[in-house]
């Protein structure tokens, strides 16, 4: 959890966790145990989403995914964060801007969900890369933004006629990934496009 700088009440940690696990409803204090719990719950969420594949997407759909995933773990699951968050060289959106940015994100990306099958490969790569960067920069939730962003990419890819993405390459090259996000912050999406192109399998 220490990979972010956070201020405010959502920065509170679980008693007994030595500031390694966020305050939670299941009183988990070990970060490894929490990671296992979150991973298992995420697998359940993937099954639910792909078994009942969405016809449309809104930002509230994404909030519902987050709530379904972590609602039994964190009381703030599915809610926009109320704290400032940052990583080295990246400051995520101010919490007071999230609602406005979420609506803009919905208008710019989610509203085009039905049109995805009409995109050619390069259009799809560019669309997914830009969408991914902008979601990460909004960072709407207190925890789990990266994993929810990947679920969103997978849903978009499948809607477009591709396979869910294999993120192992991204995990192996985390430094490149974060530098690519930093470039995207400045409007240069080519490096994230490369990451998407490397793992996107069109059927």
Residues contacting residue 58 through CB under 8 Å, at least 6 positions apart: 106, 110
Q: What does the pLDDT read at residue 5?
A: 57
From first CA to last CA, the distance across the chain in angstroms is: 37
Q: Where are the domains of the chain?
A: 32-199
DSSP 142: S
> The domain 32-199: what is its CATH number?
1.10.3290.10
Strand order from edge to edge, sheet including 85-87: 5-6, 85-87, 90-91
More confident of the two residues 203 and 182: 182
pLDDT value at 2 more than 50: no
Contact between 101 and 93 (Cβ < 8 Å): yes
Q: What does the pLDDT read at residue 170?
A: 96
Q: What is the pTM of this model?
A: 0.93
Average pLDDT, the chain: 94
Which position has the token pair 């995933």? Answer: 69
pLDDT value at 92 more than 90: yes
**pLDDT 10s digits, 108-151:** 999 999 999 999 999 999 999 999 999 999 999 999 999 999 99
Residue 89 pLDDT class (50, 70, 90 cuts): confident
Which percentage of the chain shows pLDDT scores above 90?
A: 90
Which position has the token pair 């959502």? Answer: 10
**pLDDT 10s digits, 47-71:** 999 999 999 999 999 999 999 999 9
Q: What does the pLDDT read at residue 9?
A: 53
């Amino acid at each position: 959890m220490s990979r972010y700088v956070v201020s405010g009440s959502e920065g509170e940690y679980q008693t007994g966790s030595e500031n390694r696990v966020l305050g939670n409803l299941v009183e988990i204090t070990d970060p490894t145990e929490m990671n296992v719990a979150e991973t298992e719950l995420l697998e359940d969420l993937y099954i639910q989403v792909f078994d009942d594949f969405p016809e449309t997407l809104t930002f509230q759909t994404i909030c519902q995914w987050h709530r379904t995933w972590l609602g039994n773990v964190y009381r703030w699951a599915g809610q926009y964060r109320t704290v400032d968050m940052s990583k080295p060289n990246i400051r995520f959106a101010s919490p007071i801007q999230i609602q406005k940015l979420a609506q803009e994100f919905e208008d710019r990306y989610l509203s085009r969900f039905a049109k995805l099958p009409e995109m050619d490969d390069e259009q799809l790569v560019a669309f997914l890369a830009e969408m991914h960067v902008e979601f990460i920069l909004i960072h709407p939730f207190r925890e789990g933004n990266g994993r929810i962003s990947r679920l969103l990419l997978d849903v978009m890819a499948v809607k477009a006629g591709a396979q869910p993405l294999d993120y192992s390459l991204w995990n192996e090259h985390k430094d490149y990934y974060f530098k690519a996000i930093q470039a995207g912050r400045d409007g240069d999406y080519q490096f994230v496009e490369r990451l998407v192109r490397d793992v996107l399998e069109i059927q």
